[in-house]
Chains A and B, each alone.
Chain A
Amino acid sequence: RKEVEQDPGPFNVPEGATVAFNCTYSNSASQSFFWYRQDCRKEPKLLMSVYSSGNEDGRFTAQLNRASQYISLLIRDSKLSDSATYLCVVRDDKIIFGKGTRLHILP
């Protein structure tokens, strides 16, 4: 099992729709979890941390399921500007990135 796995997509979603991504991780001792966003030919930028109780930031909701070892990201009322690659990140003694899920929001 790969350390961090994501569906590469692409997810083609109409504007205004809700979209969800999952990410699985292999190390049950992992301590911290994040979602990053990466635009084409740009550096990754932190979107949000993921807390055990789940957390929300505007249209974005992140959840952690330690028992099943996955994290999720939900985007509501999607905007054209949400088009990007979303990277799942897991931290134990190293910081491990998933390969990312590509999202295209269609007008």
Chain B
Amino acid sequence: NAGVTQTPKFQVLKTGQSMTLQCAQDMNHEYMSWYRQDPGMGLRLIHYSVGAGITDQGEVPNGYNVSRSTTEDFPLRLLSAAPSQTSVYFCASSWGQGKYGYTFGSGTRLTVV
């Protein structure tokens, strides 16, 4: 049972480049989210999804797109990378709303130069 798998683990981008951070879970969780974590800022919600075909914005959605074509996958796209997007990105999944917490992926460390 792999849990939540994020790829890549590390990435360096040049300003203006685009890329997709991959996230897959094998637990049949309905709920998936993307967070970024910066020093002193805690975890901030970028986008989330309550099921296949449904996505919504979180606290800091600008510069990011998501889609949820399957239950398993929830990729995060950076449209035109900026140095302000240098961060650690975590994907997480959970059973539907209610008493369940999140399972996190191991994170992607992104540097934009």
Asked if B54 is an interface residue, CB under 8 A from chain A, the answer is: no
Interface range on chain A: under 10, 10 to 19, 20 to 34, or 35 or more? 20 to 34
| Closest chain B residue to A47, Cβ basis | B101
B99–A46 touching, CB < 8 Å? no
Total chain B interface residues with beta-carbon distance under 8 A: 24
Question: Does A57 sit at the interface, judged by CB under 8 A?
Answer: no
Instruction: Tell me, yes or no, whether A97 is within 8 Å of chain B by CB.
Output: yes
Closest Cβ of chain A to B51, distance in Å, is 14
Residues of B within 8 A of A49 (CB): 99, 101
Task: Return the contact of B97 from the options A93, A97, A99 (Cβ within 8 A).
Answer: A93
Q: Which residues of chain B are near A87, meaning CB under 8 Å? A: 42-43
Q: Select the stretch in B14-22, B64-72, B77-85, B104-112 that faces chain A.
A: B104-112
Nearest chain A residue, comparing its CB with the CB of B43 = A97
Interface string of B39-63 (1 = CB under 8 A from A): 0111101001000000000100000
A94 touches B58 (CB 8 A): yes
| Chain A stretch 23-47: residues in CB contact (< 8 A) with chain B | 31-32, 34, 36, 41-46
Closest to B33 in A: A95
* A interface SS class: strand
Complex CA distance for A98 and B45, rounded to whole angstroms = 12
Contacts A32-B98, A93-B97; A100 near B104 (Cβ below 8 A): no
Within 8 A of B (CB), among A52-82: none
B59 to chain A, nearest CB (A): 9
A sample of 6 more A-B contacts (CB under 8 A), given A89-B101, A99-B40, is A32-B101, A36-B101, A42-B107, A87-B43, A93-B97, A95-B94
